[in-house]
Structure 1
Amino acid sequence: MENIFIDVIDKEYEFLCQLYWQVEGNGRFSYSMIKIEEKAQLKSKEIKTIVAKSCKAYSLKLKCVSCGEIECLRDRSHFSHLNGLEHVCIDCIRIENEKKGRKKLNTLMTYYFVKENALSINDLSFENSVFYFHLYGIVRMKT
């Protein structure tokens, strides 16, 4: 059973918010927009505007799987399109993208450092050449 939790901002429109966001046990809205229009004597666009300004609605479907934050619903179609999708909030997406960017930058910096500080074969002593050749052979055998 899906519940929508409402945080009413303007008490004058609390009943309209409840009509708009009320959900049945099967996850469908209790009232169609036509029924709400009839009850409120308002057009659909006016109802949506009033509801958007008068209350915030929350659903556990919009709980971020990464941080646990619950975001508010934009409208009824937003709620209807959430079936079975794991939600990740914008902040967590931004943090993950920053981590990926830092990792990529670190990889590039490491590559640059290795390239800039690479040893020339001419700079190696005979002992070091034998050591690196042996080390290279061990690494190749393990991979």
Structure 2
Amino acid sequence: MSNIFTEAELAYLASQSLARLATVGPDGAPHIAPVGVFYDPEADAVVVAGHAGTNFGASRKFHDARAHPEVAYVVDDLAGVDPWEPRGIEIRGTAETFAAGGEELGARITGVMPFDTAWIRIRARRVLAWGIDTGSFDLRARTVA
């Protein structure tokens, strides 16, 4: 049982493959990058990692998150188009960067995808969701930490 996410939000995260991670670069400019959707139930947090061999620790998103840990992570899609039914979740929080342990984490939370050594954990501070526990155009926002 999560203290951060509703059961419907967890089911939604589990059903999705693609998210976007927004970070801030050294010059203060925003940067957004597509990333996978991974939830770690032990930490009750989302995780960003690269596939084994990608040198994720050298990526801009990893360096940005290390230097400026305030990040946003968005997962969204369309449940339908006629009528238009957007749904999604935005997680605003603090990134924790790790230079080691990604391999074990990937094996534990995915069972199939080997993660690169470096990885990021995002501790939610605020969660905004639409079209999951509510109607498509009803935003549900809450502070969780």
TM-score (norm: length of structure 1):
0.25
TM-score (norm: length of structure 2):
0.25
RCO greater where, 1 or 2, for CA within 8 Å and sep 6 or more?
2
Decide which structure has greater helix share: 1
